[in-house]
Structure 1
Amino acid sequence: MEEPAAGGGAGVANGAAGVVEEEEEEPPRSATAKQEEAKAALGAEGSRPFTMRELLVELKEDGEAAGGSGGGVKPAFGARSGIGSVDAEGSSYSQESTQQLSSHHDVAMDLINSVTGVDEEGRSRQRILSFAAKRYINAIERNHDDPDAYYNWALVLQESADNVDPHSSSSKDALLEEACKKYAEATRLCPTLYDAYYNWAIAIADRAKMRGRTKEAEELWKQAILNYEKAVLLSWNSPQALNNWGLGLQELSAIVPAREKQTIIKTAISKFRAAIQLQFDFHRAIYNLGTVLYGLAEDTMRSGRPGVSPSELYSQSAIYVAAAHALKPNYSVYHKVTLLLLSFYVVQLPLPYLKVGYLTAPPENKAIAPHKEWERAQFVLNHEGLEQVASDQPPQTQSPEHLDSGRKLFRVAVADIISVSACADLTLPPGAGLCIDTIHGARFLVADNWEALDGWLDAIRLVYTIFARGRSDVLAGIITG
């Protein structure tokens, strides 16, 4: 689900429509039929990446204040002082270049004016966009070096493309192509304009989607990915850009030769995970990570490659989709896909838990202990916390204190957690260290490897985030049936 550049974007398709209504009971279906339905649901586009809904509000207010004949239009993200400050009189452009520029403007204006919208609301919005385009043309003719004017004009073209009749793909593509040219000019004038790279990538991605799985689409996806990368370099703490970058990689992986697919998918997973680490409740990235893991599980199942088992990947996929549903219970697409995933014999959460696995734990109340006293044990994680349930050591190898029936097992309540992080410390046994900082002090565990640790880190963070957002009851409902 791609994120918009600013607030006000669309929600999830078939999603946020209030409380999900109870559906009629359907006849029993085979596991294969359910899997096909899940594939369709997981592959469906989640939310449409609108670029700037707030822009339309500003343009409408400005147009009304100007009476349609005067006043300027505010840039969507505000003009920056000191950039493009040369006025018209001091411009070095020749009259011939200015005429060429005006001719190019006419092409873009003709495209915008050809859009009428499919209903009265669409036509009203298009009139506002046409009014704004004229203002930005005038601004550029006064100052050819104004990156904000080019950027905002590109937004107008991109919004006009969204207003095109759905059956007129050629008109939409032409508008998006013009928007890309304006973004290119804006970034040439101001190479640090993060928003331009971000929305430019969305425009390119929209053009790629129109071309299916073709060589031309592959090249466009690569261009979009490159622009998302530039946007992240300029604003490393943008979970939206990382999420969209992951989506672009996911789309590209469906086009490239099979030998390149695994590398691209793993990179996509890293982008979604990075987005979640920046914003733990970013449900779109959480859901998208679930979908890409589901796709990886399908590919692993078909290819029979050694490594992570498909069942493990399916279960990981279910964890993320269930977490997204818990954070946004009214999004019907999350609700539906969660039910579908949990109904498969190959995609089962270890109910009534969210995650079950092995970690190496120290003796209770003895965080710093000799390595020989740590033991590998089975742990479970649900909506209440993380708990040790069984030792992995055979009884004959355990010391007398281990056999003491009164011995306490390792347990962390989710309400006690302050933070969770990876750690590397010589006091810990070999493996991937995990530190859970609690109100009672730090608790340490060791995972078998760093890949396993990533799964535990994400799962614990998600459970805590769900608890902090007051959604533990939703998660409890999912994992307890």
Structure 2
Amino acid sequence: MNQESPQQHVDQNDAAMDLISSVTGVDEEGRSRQRILTFAARRYASAIERNPEDYDALYNWALVLQESADNVSQDSTSPSKDALLEEACKKYDEATHLCPTLHDAFYNWAIAISDRAKMRGRTKEAEELWKQATKNYEKAVQLNWNSPQALNNWGLALQELSAIVPAREKQTIVRTAISKFRAAIRLQYDFHRAIYNLGTVLYGLAEDTLRTGGSVNAKDELYSQSAIYIAAAHALKPNYSVYSSALRLVRSMLPLPHLKVGYLTAPPVGKPVAPHSDWKRSQFFLTHEGLYQISKIEQKQSAQSLSGRSGDAVNMDKRTIGVDIPDIVSVSACADLTLPPGAGLCIDTIHGQVFMVADSWESLDGWLDAIRLVYTIFARGKSDVLAGIITG
């Protein structure tokens, strides 16, 4: 950051005070709130006059400017929302220059930049602002990795950026956004907004795959994954209309009456430690009740027979592997020499550990998330909502 003269500091601080003082709230509540914000701003301005290196006062002043921007009414006498946000960004810049470990400042600075970017549509200027916002979210997460909200917002900023950049750059940015939403969920498995956002970004990726002539399997897999996350978000928050309407769009993309169907390599039943040659790749399905291996008998039957309840499917053949959701203690990726090489999956249950190997690390991510989400929905007492989604 450029060093400023004391006079430049005074001028900038006066300009910030003028901006805050001239905001008129939209209604009586807004006007009352703005009077409090103006009073607070004067206090922070005085603190900085006494000590120009008071980064806490700078940070709090930036917050006041940012909150004042939300209070701007539409009439022409108010300063523009953008001017207030720009001034807030300058204060965040100064605060983080004085204290480079102030993660909250980087986080709120990124929100202010994002709000400025949203006003600029899909322009080159917006692209630059979204890039700045992603850098600040990255910094906030580096300083405080245990913040699902920062990871979720970072994913959203990347998603916005991917809609503006040239097509050749889009895929990489979208994949990075997916990793941020996934990281947010893994910190907080009932974080329904991040779950829903992951569903929407996967849906967009499926649409792009369809447009660019990608493989049908890849496209169908992406649509199916997207539907799993949107169904999970709806199950956790059934009253959110945005989740309900999204679910109506994607429900048919689920492998009904299951939530997920796919392949896993598993040892023979009852022999978790078996020679690698005895492990076999077979189909599994996940419902609100559990994860079950599809027996050879069922695999030979027509797809229609799979419309029975998952409980029936398990009872048909006792020689299959099954894990009931209430029995789960934890689900994790694992690397163990007793497993065949590849993406290992360990489900720890009250009856002991169940090991499997996914087809790829990407496939493992899908299984881990789906099983953990079904467990979270069960733990939150919402299994009946999920049951309603998949059994109709």
User: What is the TM-score normalised by the length of structure 1?
Assistant: 0.75
- Tell me the equivalent position of 1:107: 15
- Contact kept in structure 2, 1:420 and 1:460, CA below 8 Å: yes
Tell me which of 263, 276, 288 is aligned to 1:383. Answer: 288
Q: Name the CA shift for 1:478/1:267 in 2 (closer, same or farther; >3 Å).
A: same
Specify which of 358, 363, 371 is matched with residue 276 of structure 2.
371
**Residue 130 (structure 2) aligns with:** 221
> Which residue is equivalent to 1:88?
none
Number of the residue aligned with 2:191: 282
- Other-structure match for 2:82: 173
* Cα distance in structure 2, aligned partners of 1:391 and 1:193: 58
Corresponding position: 1:197 with 2:106: yes
Where structure 1 has 5 or more consecutive residues not aligned to the other structure, the ranges are 1-92, 396-404
1:360 is paired with a residue whose SS is strand
> Is 2:232 the partner of 1:327?
no
Residue 236 (structure 1) aligned with residue 150 (structure 2): no
Number of aligned positions between the proteins:
374
Unaligned runs of 5+ in 2: 301-315
Paired residues of 2:331 and 2:347 also in contact (CA < 8 A): yes
Question: Which amino acid in the other structure matches residue 286 of structure 2?
Answer: L
Higher normalized helix content (fraction of residues): 2
Q: Which runs of 4+ in 1 moved over 6 A?
A: 167-170, 392-395
1:208–1:217 CA contact under 8 A, matched in 2: yes
RMSD: 2.0
Query: Which residue matches 1:456?
Result: 367
User: Per-residue CA shift, 1:90-136, capped at 9, x if unaligned?
Assistant: xxx9xx95444332222111111221111111111111111111111
- Counterparts in 2 of 1:110-149, with a 5 A limit? 110-149=18-57
Corresponding residue number in structure 1 for 2:391: 480
Q: Which of the pair has the greater relative contact order for Cα pairs under 8 Å at 6+ separation? A: 1
- Please tell me whether the aligned partners of residues 349 and 355 of structure 1 are also in contact (alpha carbons under 8 angstroms): yes
User: What's the CA shift for 1:419?
Assistant: 0.6
Which deviates more, 311-320 or 327-336? 327-336
Question: Do the aligned residues in 1 keep the contact of 2:181 with 2:198 (CA within 8 Å)?
Answer: yes
Q: Once the two structures are aligned, what percentage of the paired residues are identical?
A: 76
Cα distance in 2 for partners of 1:442, 1:354 equals: 23
Cα deviations by residue, 1:153-212 (Å, 9 ceiling, x for unpaired): 000000000111257697000000000000000001100000000000000000001001
Matched-pair contact (CA < 8 Å) for 1:378–1:391: no
Contact residue 23 and residue 79 of structure 2 kept, 8 A: no
- Is 1:422 equivalent to 2:330 in the alignment? no
**Equivalent pair of 2:224/2:253 in contact (CA under 8 Å):** yes
Within the candidate set 267, 276, 287, 1:362 is matched to: 267
Distance 1:254 1:391 in 2: 45
Q: What is the DSSP-based 3-state SS (H/G/I as helix, E as strand, rest coil) of the residue aligned with 2:68?
A: helix
Number of the residue aligned with 1:262: 171
The whole-number CA distance in structure 1 between the counterparts of 2:42 and 2:380 is 45
